[in-house]
């Protein structure tokens, strides 16, 4: 199993904010990997396991909560958050 690239642990759910958070900055690569995997047609189980490092067989509830939360935040980063990231 591949581990997430950040040293910051993967949260069960991403706390929502209309601003960039320290978690967003720490997990930017994770967000991009999720978007790429989703675009390539990866299953939810594959994304949870390979990108988030959550084994859906052992932690099914955590995987079901974490994946959509992180995908939602990744999409927010691509539509809105990136502007804040590069604005300084």
pLDDT in tens, 4-18: 456 789 999 999 999
Burial class (CB in 10 A: 0-12, 13-18, 19+), 31: buried
Q: Is the dihedral of CA 36, 59, 24, 6 positive or negative?
A: negative
Cα gap 45→84, rounded to integer Å: 31
End-to-end CA distance of the chain: 35
pLDDT in tens, 48-57: 999 999 999 9
Q: Where are the domains of the chain?
A: 22-87
pLDDT confidence band for 88 (50 / 70 / 90): low
Does the pLDDT at position 21 exceed 70? Answer: yes
Total number of residues shown for the chain: 88
């Amino acid at each position: 199993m591949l581990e997430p690239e950040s040293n910051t642990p993967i949260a069960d759910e991403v706390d929502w904010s209309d601003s960039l958070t320290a978690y967003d900055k720490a997990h930017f690569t994770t967000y991009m990997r999720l978007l790429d995997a989703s675009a390539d047609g990866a299953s939810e189980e594959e994304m949870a396991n390979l990108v988030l490092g959550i084994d859906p067989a052992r932690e099914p509830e955590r995987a079901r909560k974490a994946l959509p939360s992180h995908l939602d935040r990744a999409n927010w980063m691509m539509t809105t958050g990136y502007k804040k990231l590069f604005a300084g």
